[in-house]
Amino acid sequence: MTQALCDPQVSVVIPCFNNAATIGLAVESALRQSISNIEVIIVDDGSTDGTPNVLKAIHDPRVRCLSQTNSGGPAAPRNRGILESRGEWIALLDADDFWDADKLERCLAIASGGVDVVMHPMRVSVDGKFVPRDQLPILKTLTPRDASNWYESLRCRRPIAPPSGTLIRRSLLLRHGGFDCDPRLVAGEDYDLWLRLAKGGAKLAVTVSVLGTYTAGLGHLSSPARTVRFLPLIVERHFHSCRTWELPAWIHVSMGAAIWHQRGVRGLVGFGLNLMRKTPWAQKPFLAISILAELARRAYSISGSDFAMALVRCASPNSNRPSMASPSVTTNE
């Protein structure tokens, strides 16, 4: 066994469940990195489709495949992969996402500055439909100026920071217990972990370089039902000192949107009336303005092509996964 396999610098951890159609591309993007001193740990969380057969066909000494009974979410398989890892750094990769070939090399160069966590934005591909890379919208995360106080930045506006867009010290993850496996937190376990790392003093660096592609779509974990479950728990843990009207506007907007998808206009109206009843008269205008500002912020949070047009292009019947050989994109903050 080579030194690289015995002592990898980076451990890529890929949780998967019924991802037979996408896991191969995710693993390929990890193995095609410009650095070779890595290991790839795939944890199959009880797949019932063809995923096990896809994994059996992978013959690379850098890859280890583990399996377990289904846990109901990505937290447990991620944690197992982290515990089984040997690298100094953990690079999380979801089974339906994929990276540019220089993602790890560039993140390690940034991490050499003495930080604990590196984050980067990702392109958005809807349901894996083919769209040229330079036309894919960009899913922005924290900005470089947020890094000095990323705990408050996370609390104030919850920028989307997908696990596939991170590089994290293994020792830091172990010290904080990894991802919380509470079933109520499914689809919010990553945000909970980022808050805990930030509150614990972890040093963050953010690059504006777009180093991968994040897949969103109907099969994604995020859903209105899960939002309604995990947001109250997030508020209880990380916003317990806030009164209802003092909560950041993104919480009200996210909960309202989830309730609307679940229960329609009547549910949304009921949610809004209840929120206003809990808000003192003097605070009602400020709450309304903050919610409108949050809605406007979300409308402009995706850069590049108009998002609606991107969705139309993604719906093209001539669909395929975006080519990994396409040039990378860099956002301008």
**Axis-axis angle for helices 249-277, 284-299 (nearest 10):** 150
In this predicted structure, what is the pLDDT of residue 128? 63
In this predicted structure, what is the pLDDT of residue 310? 43
User: What one-letter code names the amino acid at 240?
Assistant: H
Residue scoring higher pLDDT (217 or 72) = 72
Q: Is residue 303 within 8 Å of residue 138, measured between CB atoms? A: yes
In this predicted structure, what is the pLDDT of residue 316? 41
Position 59 confidence tier, pLDDT thresholds 50, 70, 90: very high
pLDDT over threshold 60, residue 252: yes
Distance of CA 331 to the CA centre of its chain: 18
User: What one-letter code names the amino acid at 60?
Assistant: D
Q: Is residue 11 within 8 Å of residue 39, measured between CB atoms? A: yes
pTM of the model: 0.86
pLDDT over threshold 60, residue 218: no
Share of the chain above pLDDT 90, in %: 72
pLDDT over threshold 70, residue 82: yes
CA distance 220 to 213: 14
Q: What is the pLDDT averaged over residues 249-268? A: 93
Q: What is the pLDDT averaged over residues 143-164? A: 88
Tally of residues, the chain? 333
* Domain residue limits, the chain: 3-222+308-330, 224-302
269-292 tens-digit pLDDT = 999 999 999 999 999 999 999 999
SS3 of the chain:
CCHHHHCCCEEEEEEECCCCCCHHHHHHHHHCCCCCCEEEEEEECCCCCCHHHHHHCCCCCCEEEEECCCCCCCHHHHHHHHHHCCCCEEEECCCCCEECCCHHHHHHHHHCCCCCEEECCEEEEECCCCCCHHHCCEECCCCHHHHHHHHHHHHHHCCCCCHHHEEEEHHHHHHCCCCCCCHHHCCCHHHHHHHHHHHCCCCEEECCEECEEEEECCCCCCCHHHHHHHHHHHHHHHCCCCCHHHCCHHHHHHHHHHHHHHHHHHHHHHHHHHHHHCCCHHHHHHHHHHHHHHHHHHHCCEECCCHHHHHHHHCCCCCCCCCCCCCCEECCC
- When mean pLDDT is compared over 79-88, 149-158, 262-271, 306-315, the highest value belongs to 79-88
Residue scoring higher pLDDT (38 or 132) = 38
Position 136 confidence tier, pLDDT thresholds 50, 70, 90: low
CATH fold of 3-222+308-330: Spore Coat Polysaccharide Biosynthesis Protein SpsA; Chain A (3.90.550)
pLDDT over threshold 60, residue 144: yes
Q: Is residue 204 within 8 Å of residue 142, measured between CB atoms? A: yes
